[in-house]
Amino acid sequence: MTLQRQAEDALRQANETLERRVDERTAEMRLLATIVETTGAFIQATDTDYNVLAINHASANEFERLFGVPLRVGDNLREALADRPLHQAEVVGVWRRALAGEGFTVIQELGDPASGAPPSS
């Protein structure tokens, strides 16, 4: 009876430790998600086929404002911009560099500089 009780206690303790670790990790992930979603920075992640793996609200909103196309997780960048070949080439070109591991900064003007308005859809 004592060995069985010791095994049960050990199992209960292991379960409590696992639950505590899961709770801690979940809290960390929630905090990170909150930071990513509330920042004004544009955050996206794609795979090597240009499928969107993650995108925060700021980036999704700006993409739609610039290109007139909503972009969500699961969408493909090439397909999203298929009717805009110049924009597609530009966006894919930047992602190609990023996916190759290149560190770089891109500075560009977007929209129509004469009117101060974003490009029309």
Check residue 32 and give its pLDDT: 83
Provide mean pLDDT across the span 10-24: 94
pLDDT band at 116 (very low <50, low <70, confident <90, very high): low
- The sign of the CA dihedral 21, 22, 24, 29 is positive
Write out pLDDT tens, residues 18-45: 999 999 999 998 888 888 788 888 899 9
Who contacts 86 (Cβ-Cβ below 8 Å, separation ≥6)?
none
In this model, does residue 89 exceed pLDDT 60?
A: yes
pLDDT band at 111 (very low <50, low <70, confident <90, very high): low
Tally DSSP H helices, then E strands, for the chain: 4, 2
CA dist., res. 80 & res. 110, Å (int)? 18
**% of the chain beyond a pLDDT of 70:** 88
Check residue 121 and give its pLDDT: 45
Q: In this predicted structure, which of 23-27, 29-33, 96-100, 105-109 has the lowest mean pLDDT? A: 105-109
| One-character DSSP codes across 46-67 | E-TT-BEEEE-HHHHHHHHHHH
Place of tokens 């900064």: 105
